[in-house]
Amino acid sequence: MIQHWAPVAIYMAMIFYGASMSTVPGPVGNWFSDTALHGGGYFFLALLTLRALARGRWSQVTFGAMLAAWCISVVHGAAVEWMQMYVPSRLAEWRDLGNDAIGAGLALGAAGAWGIMRSTSRAEPNS
């Protein structure tokens, strides 16, 4: 169990650490838009969380696991935004939380599509 949840916890801690900084480090802030940082960050958080919930097995990826991964990701995003209300020169924004939710949703949609393609390709007989 720890091998599945440790990456999630570490990644969540990294997001909190980055969000707790008074200023975004120069290269990160200059290379990527705020929307891309939020969407991309929560895209990967949702995938890591889905992997943990499914215990690393595609057979355990269900709609319920995907919904739980999305909810965990969005709650984490809300906690980060709440925390940022108390960080000097940072703002808590609904738009950022929306980008987190969209990024997580895109990841889980991609995982669901991959699962469908994977099961369809296994069901087709070899020609």
**DSSP letters spanning 51-80:** HHHTTT-GGG--HHHHHHHHHHHHHHHHHH
Q: How many domains does the chain have?
A: 1
Given this model, what pLDDT does residue 54 score?
Answer: 95
75: pLDDT confidence band, cut at 50, 70 and 90?
Answer: very high
Q: Encoding tokens for residue 1?
A: 């169990």
Given this model, what pLDDT does residue 36 score?
Answer: 86
Percent of the chain with pLDDT over 90: 62
Given this model, what pLDDT does residue 28 score?
Answer: 59
Given this model, what pLDDT does residue 67 score?
Answer: 97
Name the residue range of residue 112's domain.
2-123
- Over residues 99-114, the pLDDT tens digits come to 999 999 999 999 988 8
Phi, psi of 90 (to 5 degrees): -115, 155
Given this model, what pLDDT does residue 59 score?
Answer: 84
Residue type, 55: R
